Each structure stands twice: as structure tokens, then as C-alpha cells.
Amino acid sequence: MKWRQLPIVSVVFLFLSPACGPVTSELETESEANTSGQVRQYSMTMPATVTSLPRVDQEVATPVHTIQANQLGDDFFKATVNLGLDDKDYFIVASRLFAVDADMNQPSNVLHHALVAEMPSTKTLKTSASPVSKKSNNSSIGYGGLVGLMVMGTSVLQTPAGTGLKIRGNMDLTFNIHLNVAMGSATTLPKKVSVHVQFMFAPSVKHLAYFSGGVDPLWLLKPETMKIPANSVTTRGYTHDPFGVLPSDSKSLDLIGVLYHMHNLGSAGQISQVRSGASYTLNSDNSFSYANQYVHYFPSPVTLQKGKDKLFAQCTWTNTAERQPFVYGVQMPVKDVFWGESSTDEMCMWMLVFVEKGNAGLPAPKPKSGH
């Protein structure tokens, strides 16, 4: 593989999480043997993109929200709901997010995106028996430990066979919801919605998965610093240290997939491994579609080493007349666009899937009799 010098570019932002996509390779960890002398394995073989779970082990929903769309058709709300399970570890292998029209009691397509993160509840933090600290098992910058994600094209997230996301059963789940109701006619739009998340668990896993990420504070404080001029093709990127975000103490992690997130103007995404000032491209999506966002799983894992490797991610936007979004049936004019959460603004996110090799989510073995 050929390394290239890393160009100096503007700072952008990273966000992590997994979803569905076809992968066929079988992975082996490095120098980790089990008791039989066999090398531990986890599989990256993933099913095709799906819209439902084979089995629902737990489902929680936000309180009903009354839609109050602004002039651009966007509405935002947050909610916190307890997972409602016993005070013990559970291993999430799949999750699904969807909105429900509260009046019609049927699914609704008004979600622009939805994020569900685990946060220790007040009850959990006060339970001395709970091995939980204020830092969640899968913490990330800005959103806590991500356990559910919905973007256009992806509503079900899965981890590779043999892996799972650890969560405590009495955690609070924080929902961060963006509704886009500037579609269809007024008579077809719901007036009230709730957002549901479903989980499928495994009794144990061989390796822990992590979904994590962050955002450049400069863009949040000064959105104009991410300027996409009218009638231009613009690319911006930044360098990120995943070991500064993930809660793992491991000296190496496997990066196994990436999902790019932009809005209507997004046209390409790329992520590279950076070491000693040089970079190697891991994945490029040159036909990004806002309507069909999904995880690109790598043919084989990319092992990142703490203190040696970072990630360089970049977004490309095509800000031309034909790519402008529609609001209430009217296409918007070309203009300069900046960072923002509205459907007529732009974003630059990468949602990544990590696996911590050899970190088995298995219960501690019971001591043998007489020991």
C-alpha cells in the first residue's frame, strides 16, 4: 500500500457509529489465543441492509411530541427515557430507530436523523453495586455512548458476529431528534410523534464494539467557519485521534467500517489512516447520496495503534442549482451554505465502527470447587 503526504486543510469533524452493509471477510486477532490454543476470531460477515430486527428484546419510546415546524420545515426535540432493565450488563448486537404518528399509531417518515445515547441514570450512579461511572461504557464527545442511530437510508445498526455493545440495564437513554416535515402535503403530515428504539441482545460476546465520535467545537461556536460557497465544489477535512474519544484502555483497536453523513449537497467522503505525517486511504465514497447513507465495511480490519495512528476524514459538497433541497415543494436558490442542523444547512460526519480485540464481554468465570 502506498502512503502519501497529508495535505494541510481546514479542521472538520468526526462522528462514529455502525449500520448494515455487505462484508465477506473473516477476521483474526493478533497474538490472542484461547485456552485451546486457537486464535480468537470475530466475523465481519454482515447481512444486507434491513429495516427490522429478527427479534426485539426491549423497546422504549419517547413521550409524545407535538410538531412545531419552523419556516424551513425543521423541528428538534430531546427526551430521556430509562432502558428499564435489571442492573446488570447487556450486549446490544442490533438496534432499530423509527418514528410513530401518535394519532394514527403507524410509522411516520418525518425523521431526518435520530441519535440514542446511553447515559448513567441518577439511580444507577447511586447504586453501589453498579460497576458504572459517570463515563459511560461507550462514551463519545457531545452525545454520550451511542447505541442507536437513524439517518436517511439506515435505521438498523448491527455489530459483526461475535461482537456487541455493552450497556447497563438501568441506564438512561437520551434521544436527540431532528424532524423534517417539509415534505408531502399538510394533510398527510403527523401532528404528534414519538420515537421508538428497539434492541436485540446477546447473552455474551467475544469482543466489545464501540460507536463513538465528536464534533469540532469551532463549527458549533462559529458555523461560518465551515463555508461552502455558492456554485462551488468544496472539500474540507480534519485529523482526529480516536483513542482520545473511546473509553477503552487498549493500545490497539480495529476500525472496521465507516458511514458518511452530509445533507443534500454532500457528494463524496473519504477517510484515511495517518501515521508519521503520511496518510493511507481506507475508504472513499465518490457517489455519496443523502437519501441512501450506510456503513461501508472494510474488506479486513484496520488496526490502529495508540500514540502512532490518527484518522484523517474529509467531506466534499457540490453546491450547484440542481442539488438544492426542496422546502414545502419549492427548490431553494443557490447560496453560500454553512454548518448547521437544519436540512438546508450542511454537516460533515463520519460514523465509525470499532472493535476492541480480545476484550470479551463474558461474565467472569466462577471459581472451581475447592479453590
pLDDT in tens, 212-249: 765 666 777 899 999 999 999 999 988 888 887 676 67
State which residues of the chain have pLDDT below 70. Answer: 1-49, 120-144, 183-188, 213-217, 245, 247-248, 358-371
Closest among 63, 100, 96 to 82, alpha carbons compared: 63
Closest among 200, 214, 315, 206 to 254, alpha carbons compared: 206
pLDDT of residue 46: 56
Bridge-based pairing state of the strands 330-331 and 326-327: antiparallel
**Domain positions in the chain:** 4-30+38-356
Strand blocks (E) in 65-137? 65-66, 74-82, 89-101, 106-108, 111-119
Amino acid at 272: S
pLDDT of residue 364: 36
Strand partners, 176: 78, 115
Secondary structure (DSSP) of 202-217: ES--SEEEEEE----H
Measured on CA atoms in the order 244, 250, 253, 259, is the torsion positive or negative?
A: negative
**Rounded CA separation 184/175 (Å):** 25
Q: Give 357's contacts (C-beta < 8 A, 6+ positions apart).
A: 29, 30, 32, 40, 207, 250, 252, 253, 254, 303
- In the three-class reduction of DSSP (H, G, I as helix; E, B as strand; rest coil), residue 218 is classed as helix
- In the three-class reduction of DSSP (H, G, I as helix; E, B as strand; rest coil), residue 81 is classed as strand
Q: Is residue 20 within 8 Å of 158, Cβ to Cβ?
A: yes
- C-alpha 205 chain-centroid distance: 20
pLDDT in tens, 286-325: 999 998 998 888 888 899 999 999 998 899 999 999 999 8
pLDDT of residue 10: 27
Q: Is residue 245 within 8 Å of 300, Cβ to Cβ?
A: no
User: Which class does domain 4-30+38-356 fall in?
Assistant: mainly beta
